[in-house]
Amino acid sequence: MATKASRSSARLMISPAVILLLGWMIIPLGMTIYFSFLRYNLLQPGATPFAGWENYYWFFTDPSFSAAMLNTLVLVGGVLTITTVGGICFALLLDRPMFGQGIIRIMVIAPFFVMPTVSGLIWKNMFMNPVNGIFGQIAAGLGLQPIDFFGQIPMASVIFIVAWMWLPFATLILLTALQSLDQEQLEAAEMDGASWVNRFWFIMLPHMARAITVVILIQTIFLLSIFAEILVTTNGGPGVATTNLTYLIYVSSLLQFDVGIGSAGGVVAIILANIVAFFLMRMIGKNLDA
């Protein structure tokens, strides 16, 4: 199959796509790095002098910066925990034969198809609004004080909404992993005297380890850049309670019109993402080979 000619022609034919993708990545990256060293404010058009490390200095000393870093990690960690644990539970439930299995599976996967802005708005207005929302109504009906979700527990609420969106993804991947488990292994474990808990712990969970790794890796990449849900629900507030790194960059560059500081934040975000990815790969990468 892979003759010398076919290999070089394959390389030739794939190169436009590769070059295009590379350009798409390199050009914005290069421009972000370039902008991050300029004094570049949209309110002062014309002059964009070189600023050295000044933008980075201002970004790091921004009073919201440390809060944003912490919020980013809390958001990612919280959503990962909920989706992985919840995804395993859902996968175990959906793996059982039951009536209407097909429809239930589609319903479970459905939240993934809802756009982030839409789901954020639906949760904000229809469920979590203390006056009109269902939760508020239920609380009022029971004579309890309704919770003002985005006022009292803003971070938990955002985590909840994002987790709701990503739970189907985790469930789907973990369910396929679970279905690929050889039934004879479970039967052998049953013969060996393993209770359900033991079978889960010693057979199913190790079997799913690789899928869990994939779920965590992919989700981390996407969760580091959560933005729409925060924009439509809390606007990063109250105060900076739900401002994550992405949102802080948005605030710097589009609310304060400072492209230079925003770009510096972007570079910081890229570095952070790489650090996280590196540690994740180190930590769980050994699950991927085997």
Partner 1 sequence: MGRIQLKQVQKAFGDVEVIPPLDLEINDGEFVVFVGPSGCGKSTLLRLIAGLEDTTSGVIEIDGADATDLPPAKRGLAMVFQSYALYPHMSVRKNIAFPMRMAKMSQEEQDKRIDAAAKALNLTDYLDRRPGQLSGGQRQRVAIGRAIVREPAAFLFDEPLSNLDAALRVGMRMEISELHKKLETTMVYVTHDQVEAMTMADKIVVLQAGVIEQVGSPLELYRTPRNLFVAGFIGSPKMNFIQGEEAAKHGAQTIGIRPEHIDVSMSGGQWQGTVGVAEHLGSDTFIHIHGIPGCDPMTVRADGEVTVSYGDTVSLTPRSDQIHKFDANGLRMS
Interface ranges with partner 1 (CB under 8 A): 182, 184-185, 187-195, 198, 202-203, 206-207, 209, 290
CB 99 within 8 A of CB 210: no
Amino acid in position 34 = Y
SS3 41: strand
Residues in Cβ contact with 36 at an 8 Å cutoff, skipping those fewer than 6 apart: 55, 56, 260, 263, 264, 266, 267
Closest CA to 249 of 71, 110, 87: 71
Toward partner 1, which CB reaches closer, 44 or 180?
180
Q: What is the Cα–Cα distance from 29 to 23, expressed in whole angstroms?
A: 10
Toward partner 1, which CB reaches closer, 140 or 283?
283
CB 236 within 8 A of CB 243: yes
Q: What is the Cα–Cα distance from 52 to 173, expressed in whole angstroms?
A: 46
Q: In the numeric block, which tokens belong to residue 272?
A: 């952070």
* Least distance between partner 1 and beta carbon 195 (Å): 8
User: Residue 182 phi/psi, 5° resolution?
Assistant: -65, 120
* Least distance between partner 1 and beta carbon 169 (Å): 24
* Least distance between partner 1 and beta carbon 88 (Å): 17
* Least distance between partner 1 and beta carbon 91 (Å): 18
SS3 203: helix
Toward partner 1, which CB reaches closer, 209 or 272?
209
CB 169 within 8 A of CB 219: yes
Toward partner 1, which CB reaches closer, 208 or 264?
208
* Least distance between partner 1 and beta carbon 92 (Å): 18
Q: What is the Cα–Cα distance from 105 to 175, expressed in whole angstroms?
A: 10
* Least distance between partner 1 and beta carbon 211 (Å): 13
Toward partner 1, which CB reaches closer, 34 or 202?
202
Toward partner 1, which CB reaches closer, 221 or 284?
284
